[in-house]
Structure 1
Amino acid sequence: MTRNPDLRIFAKARPGALPMPGNRDISALAKPNVLDRWNDDGAGIRAIASGDNVITMFGAIGEDYWSDSGITAKKVTAQLRAIGDRPVEVQINSPGGDMFEGIAIYNVLREHPQDITVKVMGMAASAASIIAMAGNTVEIGAASFIMIHNCWVLAIGNRHDMAETASFLAPFDQAMADLYAQRTGSDVADVQKWMDAETFMSGSMAIERGFADAMLSADQVTTDEDTKAADRHVNELRAMELSLVASGHTRTEARARINKIKGTPGAALEPATTPGAGGTALVGALRGLLATATA
């Protein structure tokens, strides 16, 4: 299991802040099928224009090994500090990532003294949906999605370890359900059913259920084909890593095996034209690796 950094860094929090995990050998992550959905519906979507008070969250939540980037509470804190005491716009197109890092970012945004407008440009799934709830106003594209689910983890151990993990995660699922219910005005029981079902909500459904307030005009969004190809490629690597870990490998082992096929050990994502680094050949090789690993 991967050690989650100690995120208990906020001495003060406005009402509605979520609980923070301490040092645990657990990471709550986006599921591989969510990455696949983002490949189809969210990859490459970006805003047409931005300003000096805009924070963009395009990609994975948390430190991201495969793109040498990622959206973290530390980075968001620095951006808010640079913006200062002004209203903030947060643009999101993310399949999620580390749920606990998403909680930390939510708490950071809730601490900002001015209004925050969240714009869901393509997808706010998993951890990114938590971040979206920090907005005083949430706008969403007609073809965009908000997705909510329970904490999903990769954990190793015996039944006692699994019971301890389940016990540890329960209050986070409850806190998220309470947060969604407070934001939407829905019953907590209904929200929990939506989380259990891993619910994707389109723009109109998100507004109907109170997860968003208004529709984002189509002329504020564009799709960049080069960015879309890069997004989809790196998501194949993320999904393959998670699948290999689920089959019994450590994350270090999974990354080493993928990098061996990728041909660029320890490297971040290379352009698809780099030999051995991209395209259908890599994807096919990785899927063959997974089939062998799980046989």
Structure 2
Amino acid sequence: MSLRTDLPEIGNIARNAPKALAFDVPATVTSRYAETPLAAQDDDGGDNEIRILGDIGFDPWSGGGITAASVEDQLEHAGDSDVTVLMNSPGGDLFEGIAIYNLLRLHSGKVTVKVLGLAASAASVIAMAGDVVEMGAGSFIMIHNAWVCACGNRNDFRAIAEYLEPFDAALRDVYAARTGLPDSELDEMLNRETFLDAKTAIDKGFADGKTSDTAPEPGNVLGNQIKAKRAIDAALASQGMPRSERRRLMSEMSSGKHDAAASAAGTPSAAGTATHDAGELAAELRRGLSILTK
């Protein structure tokens, strides 16, 4: 019997979200992901190979991203056949991640997940849906409590804390079903944001073994630009700029549409509510990226 038959479904727990809340990826994860290899741009993989190589949801570096709809299309194409899921992702949209997890959990064929670089946050949940989970050399799985950006008064923050509790409990149940670890140990790991290397992930039951597969460098201009944008996004995240603002800035810079007066003044028009330091950094990064994308 497939292990996936014992994995819990993650139902609709996304009701009545506070207006001040937006799911995000911690800066520590963004920075680590910026340093991991990209997949080869000219290799589409096999018919039954699903590539989760980038942000879950919209990807500001490439303009694409991995969504439940795209994964569903690939699973339909595979039919009842076995599939291999290649992963290198910092996570992203939690709701897309939950949907992809449920799609893989319900697939009739065998699901083999290979973590080539990083499976963090929402991506780590997706990885748990495999019948077999393999870790590549130097790869990591990262688990943590739901991480958000929020604003408001003390009542707003109380409401947000209460709203997040069922998410953390549901994700802990998935890890528990996979690993057999007690809730108390998983709660401690989630609370402190835990990175698991291949050996630790296998020892604790998050993975089953190692794979020799790796994510090769693309060796082309497009890949280099995406990698540069990753580094820029990581730098902005470390300065406290919310993900929504980083996405808007990336989109603006990639399209070349930004306010000339603001650029001349060194003030990014897309800085929005970001901190003053992040705004100054964004202005410098904007100028560098405008050269890169021409």
Instruction: Name the TM tier (shorter chain).
Output: 0.7 to 0.9
- Aligned counterpart in structure 2 of residue 251 of structure 1, from 244, 254, 268: 244
Does 2:91 align with 1:85? no
With structure 2 as the length reference, what TM-score do the two structures score? 0.77
* Amino acid in structure 2 at the alignment position of 1:265: K
Cα distance in 2 for partners of 1:110, 1:14 equals 10
Cα distance in 2 for partners of 1:182, 1:169 equals 20
Uncovered stretches (5+) of structure 1, i.e. residues with no partner: 1-12, 267-275, 277-285
Q: In the TM superposition, what are the counterparts of 1:1-295 in structure 2 within 5 Å?
A: 16-20=8-12, 21-22=14-15, 24=17, 25=19, 26-40=21-35, 42-45=36-39, 50-218=45-213, 221-226=215-220, 229-239=224-234, 242=237, 246=240, 251=244, 264-265=256-257, 290=278, 292=280
Deviations 1:260-280, CA, capped at 9 Å, x for gaps: 6667128xxxxxxxxx9xxxx
CA apart distance, 1:81: 1.1
- How many residues are paired up? 259
User: Do the aligned partners of 1:27 and 1:100 also contact (CA within 8 Å) in 2?
Assistant: no
* Amino acid in structure 1 at the alignment position of 2:65: G
User: Do the aligned partners of 1:28 and 1:154 also contact (CA within 8 Å) in 2?
Assistant: yes
Change (3 A) 1:80 1:64: same
CA apart distance, 1:29: 2.1
Cα distance in 2 for partners of 1:208, 1:100 equals 29
CA apart distance, 1:100: 2.2
* Alignment RMSD: 3.2
Deviations 1:214-242, CA, capped at 9 Å, x for gaps: 10025x54333446633432223444665
Please, which moves more after superposition, 228-237 or 87-96?
228-237
* Amino acid in structure 2 at the alignment position of 1:224: P
User: Do the aligned partners of 1:150 and 1:198 also contact (CA within 8 Å) in 2?
Assistant: yes
Cα distance in 2 for partners of 1:214, 1:250 equals 34
Cα distance in 1 for partners of 2:76, 2:130 equals 17
User: Do the aligned partners of 1:27 and 1:98 also contact (CA within 8 Å) in 2?
Assistant: no
CA apart distance, 1:114: 1.6
User: Do the aligned partners of 1:60 and 1:95 also contact (CA within 8 Å) in 2?
Assistant: yes
Uncovered stretches (5+) of structure 2, i.e. residues with no partner: 264-273, 283-294
**What is the percentage of aligned positions where both structures have the same residue?**
39
User: Do the aligned partners of 2:60 and 2:250 also contact (CA within 8 Å) in 1?
Assistant: no
CA apart distance, 1:39: 1.8
Cα distance in 2 for partners of 1:83, 1:230 equals 32
Change (3 A) 1:196 1:65: same
Cα distance in 2 for partners of 1:228, 1:208 equals 34
Cα distance in 1 for partners of 2:172, 2:224 equals 34
With structure 1 as the length reference, what TM-score do the two structures score? 0.76
